[in-house]
Structure 1
Amino acid sequence: MAPVFGPYKARVDALLKQNEQLPRKQQYTSPKIFEIIRTEGYQGCESRIRQHVAEWNRTRKQEVFLPLEFEPGQDAQCDWGEAYVVLGGERKKVQIFTMRLCYSRRTFVTAFPTQKQESFLYGHVLAFNHFGGIPYRISYDNLATAVKMAFDRPKQRGRPPRQEQRAFQSFRSHYLFESHFCTVGLQGAHEKGQVEHGVGFVRRNYLVPLPEVASFEELNQLLKERCLADDERRVSRQPTTIGQAWQEERSALRPLPTFDYDCCEITTARLTPYSQATYETNRYSVPVKRARSAVTVKAYPFHVEILDGTTVLARHPRCYGREQDLFDPFHYLPLLEQRPGAFDHAKPLKKWRRDWPESYHLLLRKLREKWPEGRGIQEFVRVLMLHQDYPSEEVAQAVEQALDLGCIHLDGILHCLHQISTSPTSAPLDLSDRPDLDAVGNQPIDLSRYEQLLKQSW
């Protein structure tokens, strides 16, 4: 007997029965049911509700799945997942893009900062290149980056009609594959169970323990290596390894197009007076000669390009923060040459300045002492401009040589730089086993012959 709970058992059963018509992630839970019946007069404890809900679930008929079989090259499944990694010394959540070929079960995994559409499309491009071809059909959940539910349109056969995103339609037209979206309200495991299981498999086997990486590039290289290692695995009840089955499936895939799809968001922007283009609240610098003109911004998953027509003016790492300034110091050097008085407070140079070798700071001090009133800074800015044409290591070496020689000016540094860049890089030939050749090229010059030639010309 349950004198406290008994009068409320039918009410709890009715709420649990409603769960069968509710979305999986918005069903009544034990705490929610306890909250509801407590407002209706229940005086018992929550643990009794949890016990009844557990008994109810055990007596329900377990969900049954239909076994599926796929032909080579015909089908793939795609999904997103979340995972944690130690990125740049901080624990961060990353978005895991996963695609799996249904026949061979070969899996591709890569990580992005977000699930934005450009990341979604670029994940496909990387997966197709990894597989060496394109499956004829790919199954998805009803991802907002691929499809939108058009509830304002008439339903067809009891389902809300779907409308693919325009960018996704364009992408599919480039790669010529069909899309299949899982039935609304049905758990994805019924129609794309392989990749649903695959996302969990990746978290448990590729990302445990938490990878410690410096960048997304390093993380994705690690994931790629683990995808390749997975080719040696043999799935239960399969006669061959994943890699062997993929070799059989590869020839059945659609061939790759001659060029990859350009996976980016494109918008226009007008440069600020500080020669910056704004995208998603962040400002990216552009060479000052383009100030106050309209430009095109192409946002890729990991970088941003700013263009004038088809000419790329600037390229920056993409920032996913808010209201940040991303500067390339070279964009502002021509302006600093004209306005040397602003040098000490120039924001675009401050981060770069902290990383300069000590020889640069010494050169700057000496140039200021030699040419005050701005000329010394102008000469130093011209030296910094050499980084646009020469490797940084060679410029730093030339600065050190010029300081040692006492030629602390642009021409002196250029002279040292030309000597460094034109000096032979190969080691001298070892002639220790041929002493008879040691003198070749080292014999003294006989100037008497030149004197004879000069006398004859007189």
Structure 2
Amino acid sequence: MIDLINKQEILLMYFREGKSQRSIAREVGVDRKTVSSYIKDYESKLEKLIEQHGSVEKGELIQSIVEKPKYQCLNRTKRVLTEEIEERIHYFLRENELKRQRGLHKQTKKIIDIHEALDQEGHNVSYTTVRNKVNEIARKAKEAYIKGSYNPGGVCEFDWGEVKVVINGKRRTLQLAVFTSAFGNYRMAYLFTKQKTECFQEAHALFFDHVGGVFQSMVYDNMKVAVKKFVGTEKEPTEALLKLSIYYMFQFRFCNVQSGNEKGHVERSVEVIRRKAFAFRDTFETLEEANQYLLEVCHKLNRKQVKQKENKTAEELLNIEKKSLLPIRPTFDAARINHLRVDKYSTVMIDQSRYSVPDHLVGEMVKVKVYSTKIQCFYQEENVAEHHRLTGCHEWSLQLEHYVRTLKKKPGALADSAALQQATKKIKNIYDNYYTNNPRDFVDLIQFIKDGTNLDQIEQSINELRKINTLHVTTDKIKVLCEKKQELLHHLPLLSKESLDIQHYAEENLRKYDELFQTQRIGNKEAIA
């Protein structure tokens, strides 16, 4: 196909360089008849231009001389677009729309797939013809957007976005929950580790608490935490959304499939908040620190004046909206509840990670409340375990005190246990310094802690025993000393009422302690001080 630059070369070679049409055709790489056609067309139009005396618009003639080559397609054989083929094209497009409504937009047919399907059905039609027809149908289907008008407190939009940040030295992808009021464009956002039910509910609870009320209507797209399934063109809400709606009494509606313009405020807000916050800083020590930083950015955005709203800020407009908000209620208990059986490792599995419970519950069913940042386990309505929620997959959260019953039977398993490795630094130091050769005694100490003894009291007792000799650091002696301290604290209020000398009472107790352990240092004034 000849383009404008080829036309220019042909004409210059012939009229300026005097080359023959045959040699021009050979050099340019086109048919000699084509070269002859362009030369004759140019000569004819130029002759008409010279002969014109104003009766014909010269501009149009000049343009026809210098325009790109045109091709006469009237004599070409066409592949007919029959009514049957058109109907099949419409069928495939309707099929695509139904798939989008069911959330299968990645499994729709592209134009090349429609052409392939038609070819397999035996229809003789070109890809270009199919493409032109599909584009024609698409142009007819384009819709006009209607600008919305919103009342104060009437509508709030919600959406998720992704943010890539560094938390405690590790690159993480976090979920950004964004709320935007339609009337005043007030924006607020929260970071979560996942787009789970409990995170979805907690975000709403945090937002409603923050603004001090509830918007009358919430708008969502077709996110999984809000839409359970499609029933034809209708969308069935999830239980999580229904619970929020029932508790806070707000109405809700969903956007049409692939119609982000129907909640344009929040679509824009996700991009704005993500850029204004994390384009400037993306490294934090903890998730809590990242959320605090995000809160400060949102406050800054909400204090900017809005020209379209008479230079009022989003905060000022929110104050206007508060008069029309539904009344706030106590913070919603945003927890996903599971009933799970305790496995042989005395753990329950949540989102592919395991959390320990007391080992006497192996084989029993427990109720687990899954929050965005913590896990609570209940057996017969008693809270038997609580963990910080893990954010990865195939991770274990084990608490040493949950395995006391088993370790009493198998104390040799303590040293290499994952539960000991996950224990606090203080517990591991006590084991490494005093109990490596006496694991059974250490298990008794963990039982003592489990029964309610404060770890700080145990450390104080260990320090006092260590001053005598490290060999004195045993669980039995720690228990005696802790119990004596508790007894002293228990009697102090009574002794005060009886006007007894507290210092004398303390010395007497410490003297008895000396007699018990056959020591000489504890009872002196230096030890008391």
Contact 2:399 2:423 in 1 (8 A): no
1:86 deviates by 0.9
For residue 112 of structure 1, the aligned residue among 189, 192, 199 is: 192
For residue 465 of structure 2, the aligned residue among 380, 392, 402 is: 402
Q: SS where residue 110 of structure 1 aligns? A: strand
Contact 1:84 1:210 in 2 (8 A): no
Counterparts of 1:6-405 in structure 2, within 5 Å, are 65-151=145-231, 160-182=233-255, 184-185=256-257, 187-189=259-261, 191-239=262-310, 240-257=312-329, 259-352=330-423, 356=427, 358=429, 360-365=431-436, 368=437, 376-388=438-450, 389-405=452-468
The equivalent residue for 2:478 is 413
Distance 1:363 1:288, change over 3 A: same
Higher relative contact order (CA 8 A, sep 6+): 1
For 1:330-388, what per-residue CA distance to the aligned partner results, in whole angstroms no more than 9, with x for missing partners?
Answer: 111243234323222333112327765655422125xx4xxxxxxx4332223334544
Contact 1:233 1:241 in 2 (8 A): yes
Name the amino acid aligned to 2:198: E
Aligned length: 394
Name the amino acid aligned to 1:307: F
1:233 deviates by 1.6
Q: SS where residue 237 of structure 1 aligns? A: helix
Inter-partner Cα distance in structure 1 for 2:320 and 2:294:
24
Name the amino acid aligned to 1:118: E
Q: SS where residue 66 of structure 1 aligns? A: coil
Contact 2:421 2:428 in 1 (8 A): no
Distance 1:225 1:20, change over 3 A: farther
Distance 1:201 1:31, change over 3 A: farther
1:249 deviates by 1.5
Inter-partner Cα distance in structure 1 for 2:196 and 2:308:
37
1:175 deviates by 0.8
Q: SS where residue 251 of structure 1 aligns? A: helix
Q: SS where residue 191 of structure 2 aligns? A: strand
Inter-partner Cα distance in structure 1 for 2:441 and 2:214:
56
For 1:134-177, what per-residue CA distance to the aligned partner results, in whole angstroms no more than 9, with x for missing partners?
Answer: 000011112222224434xxx5xxxx122222332222111100
For 1:106-144, what per-residue CA distance to the aligned partner results, in whole angstroms no more than 9, with x for missing partners?
Answer: 222112222122221221111111111100001111222
After TM superposition, the structure 1 stretch with the greater mean CA deviation from structure 2, 274-283 or 289-298, is 274-283
Contact 1:398 1:420 in 2 (8 A): no
Q: SS where residue 324 of structure 2 aligns? A: coil
Inter-partner Cα distance in structure 1 for 2:151 and 2:484:
64
Identical-residue share of aligned pairs (%): 24
After TM superposition, the structure 1 stretch with the greater mean CA deviation from structure 2, 91-100 or 345-354, is 345-354
- TM-score when normalising by structure 2: 0.63
Inter-partner Cα distance in structure 1 for 2:246 and 2:482:
52
Q: SS where residue 206 of structure 1 aligns? A: helix
Inter-partner Cα distance in structure 2 for 1:88 and 1:208:
18
Name the amino acid aligned to 1:214: E
Name the amino acid aligned to 1:146: A
Inter-partner Cα distance in structure 1 for 2:185 and 2:92:
34
1:278 deviates by 2.8
Name the amino acid aligned to 2:249: L
1:224 deviates by 2.1
Q: SS where residue 219 of structure 1 aligns? A: helix
- TM-score when normalising by structure 1: 0.71
Inter-partner Cα distance in structure 2 for 1:215 and 1:187:
36
1:411 deviates by 4.4
Q: SS where residue 199 of structure 2 aligns? A: helix
Inter-partner Cα distance in structure 1 for 2:428 and 2:463:
10
Name the amino acid aligned to 1:95: Q
1:281 deviates by 3.7
For 1:286-339, what per-residue CA distance to the aligned partner results, in whole angstroms no more than 9, with x for missing partners?
Answer: 112323322112222222222113211111233354443321111112432343
After TM superposition, the structure 1 stretch with the greater mean CA deviation from structure 2, 163-172 or 22-31, is 22-31
Name the amino acid aligned to 2:307: S
Inter-partner Cα distance in structure 2 for 1:303 and 1:262:
13
Q: SS where residue 260 of structure 1 aligns? A: coil
- Give the superposed CA RMSD: 4.5
Distance 1:221 1:272, change over 3 A: same
Inter-partner Cα distance in structure 1 for 2:277 and 2:93:
35
**Gapped regions of structure 2 (runs ≥ 5):** 4-29, 31-70, 118-123, 127-135, 490-501, 504-529
After TM superposition, the structure 1 stretch with the greater mean CA deviation from structure 2, 378-387 or 104-113, is 378-387
1:248 deviates by 1.9
Q: SS where residue 192 of structure 1 aligns? A: helix
Distance 1:60 1:268, change over 3 A: closer
Name the amino acid aligned to 1:96: L
Inter-partner Cα distance in structure 2 for 1:302 and 1:63:
44
